[in-house]
Amino acid sequence: MIPARFLPALLALAFLPPLSAPGIAQAAAEDAPRDAGAAPSGKAADAPLPGAPQQAPAAIDPASLRRLSLSASFTEKGERIRSGIKWRVFRTQPDSTDVTRVADSDAPAPTFTLPPGSYIVHAAYGLAAVIKHVDIAQSAVTDTLVLKAGGLKVEASVGDRPIPPTQLSARVMLIQSTGERHLIAEGVSATNILRLPEGRYNVECTYGDSNAVVSAEISVTAGKLTEANFHEMAATLTLKLVSQPGGEAIANTAWSVLTPGGDVIRESIGAFPSLILAEGNYTVVARHEGRVYTRDFDVKSGQDGDVEVIAR
């Protein structure tokens, strides 16, 4: 149980920010276990919170140091998590709200050497995290934290054709018990496994960077990898402004693709830009040397091809 007086300080320093860019949930490589000392290298160690009083470090008697050995599992009786954990250890002070970060490690089961005292351990696994209060007295301490987290892998296809993961991205919202949705991740590349706390999520899968988006409710279970397979109704099209059917594409053309209601889906400049569009009806506008050309066209799922606009 974490004393309530420490929570504001921990929120300021310990917890990870909301995911808003690709790569934060990237799967970590296997780490060999290693010892972590009380004062690891790097600016993060022994760093007080902003505004905390600065004090000269006191001399530590090596004989007084004790070992704190940590590990984590997905369930109470589950196997140890073998990779992907970020550990942080904070020292607390009696009758104070200050916490000082004294050690960290990326090892799956680190051992820290620390003087006796009161500490808070923070373990993060992607977007899942757990904190625990640990007291170190006259003997070594060994503890296992339970991280109720699982993995989410996003996959998609058009018809029977799998879509390369590099062309997919995900937006993830946590579905709370009240039914409200809370955004926790967006723009996440499908090349990565997203590590999430156990729970229900609304996942949006985007194919390309236009309007090919599908969504579904997904459950993530602790210790398991959930594979979310989406079926996209879309096609890849290449736009061309030509002087005659089948002619050479005219360079330096400005393009706009609109819905029947006039909403702009995509704008670009070039001789033959390529884009991915959801199945439906569209209008394309081509501008070249002060003249404007338009054409209505339909997109059918899985039918890639060219959309030619005749300059006349």
* Chain segment 175-205, per-residue pLDDT in tens: 999 999 999 999 999 998 999 999 999 999 9
CATH code at 89?
2.60.40.10
For residues 32 and 132, membership in a common domain is answered with yes
> CB-based contacts of 267: which residues, under 8 Å, 6+ apart?
254, 255, 256, 257
Domain endpoint, select from 110, 128, 147: 147
Q: What is the pLDDT of residues 13-28, one digit of tens each?
A: 444 443 333 333 333 3
The residue type of 111 is: T
Which residue's structure tokens are 């330096």?
A: 252
Closest C-alpha to 47, from 105, 9, 101: 101
Q: CB of 208 within 8 A of CB of 40?
A: no
Q: In the prediction, which pLDDT does 312 show?
A: 84
The total number of structural domains in the chain stands at: 3
Please indicate, yes or no, whether residues 141 and 199 belong to a single structural domain of this protein: no
Same domain membership, residue 280 and residue 220: no
Question: Are 99 and 72 in the same domain?
Answer: yes
Same domain, 158 and 135: no
Q: How far apart are CA 14 and CA 125, in angstroms?
A: 13
Tokens coding 165: 């993961």
199-207 and 194-197: which strand pairing? unpaired
Assess whether 94 and 10 both reside in one domain. yes
What does the buried/exposed string (b/e) look like for 20-44 if buried means 16 or more CB atoms within 10 Å of the residue's CB? eebebbbebeebeeeebebebeeee
Q: What is the pLDDT of residue 1?
A: 57
Each as own residue / partner, the long-range contacts of residues 50-55 (CB below 8 Å, 24 or more positions apart, any chain) are 50/12, 52/98, 52/100, 53/98
Shared domain for 188 and 294, answered yes or no, is: no
CATH of the domain at 166: 2.60.40.1120
What is this structure's pTM? 0.75
The band of 4, judged by pLDDT with boundaries at 50, 70 and 90, is: low
- 185 with 261, same domain: the answer is no
Query: Which of 60, 141, 131 lies closest to 90, judged by CA?
Result: 131
Residue 278 tokens, joined: 């959801």
pLDDT of amino acid 198? 96
Question: Which pairing describes strands 117-125 and 149-158: parallel, antiparallel, or unpaired?
Answer: unpaired
Q: Which of 147, 172, 187 is the last residue of a domain?
A: 147
Let me know whether 173 and 263 are in one domain.
Answer: no
β-pair type (225-231, 149-158): parallel
Same domain as 180, residue 52? no
Name the domain boundary from 231, 247, 278: 231
Instruction: Read off the pLDDT of residues 301-310 as tens digits, 9 standing for 90 and up.
Output: 999 999 999 9
Give the pair of three-digit tokens for residue 132: 């625990």
Residues 63 and 137 in one domain: yes
Question: What pLDDT was estimated at residue 280?
Answer: 97
Angle in degrees, CA 33, 39, 44, rounded to 5: 95
% residues pLDDT > 70 (the chain)? 81
**Domain membership of residue 220 as a residue range:** 150-231
DSSP assignment of 145-161 equals: EE--EEEEEEEEEETTE
Asked whether the beta carbons of 206 and 276 are under 8 A apart, the reply is no
For residues 99 and 31, state if they share a domain.
Answer: yes
Both tokens assigned to 10: 């921990």
Radius of gyration of the chain (CA): 27
